[in-house]
Amino acid sequence: MSERLQPGDVAPAFTLPDADGKEISLSQYRGRKVIVYFYPAALTPGCTKQACDFTDNLDVLAAAGYDVIGISPDKPEKLAKFREKESLKVTLLADPEKTVTESYAAFGEKKNYGKTYLGVIRSTIIVDEEGKVERALYNVRATGHVAKIIKDLGI
């Protein structure tokens, strides 16, 4: 398992398929700030709430120079269903092998109802215009997280 990212680290490069199967790379966002968030599964209550919050605040974030990318282990077909069902406007990327999720230290041990298991750790990494980590937030809550990011970033 990877070490958690710290501010100043170079964000691991990636290229993953989006909901339409189109390859998207972090390098395409050079010159813009990017909020990369990792979530366990499309079409689940917490992940839906988080994706809808990002969508609802996309204009505010975009006006402040931020793009938003959500990454989960789901396949592109499921992401497309998720996007259609919830009218999502954020870019959703598929990482079924979890290689990118692991490189961002967003995969590891989790505890739920007293059981320990491996899974996606809900995390948000804010990458600056040069591709460096500005903030790395791990074990975030689905509800209220977007409002907190906006407040913390002073948007």
Q: What residues are annotated to the active site?
A: 47
Q: d(Cα 116, Cα 111) in Å, to the nearest integer?
A: 4
Residue 86 CB coordination number (10 Å):
16
Residue 141 CB coordination number (10 Å):
11
Q: Which residues fall within 8 angstroms of residue 74, CB to CB, at 6 or more apart? A: 41, 42, 82, 94, 96
- Report residue 4 CA to chain centroid gap: 15
* 3-state SS class at 8: coil
Q: What is the DSSP letter of 32?
A: S
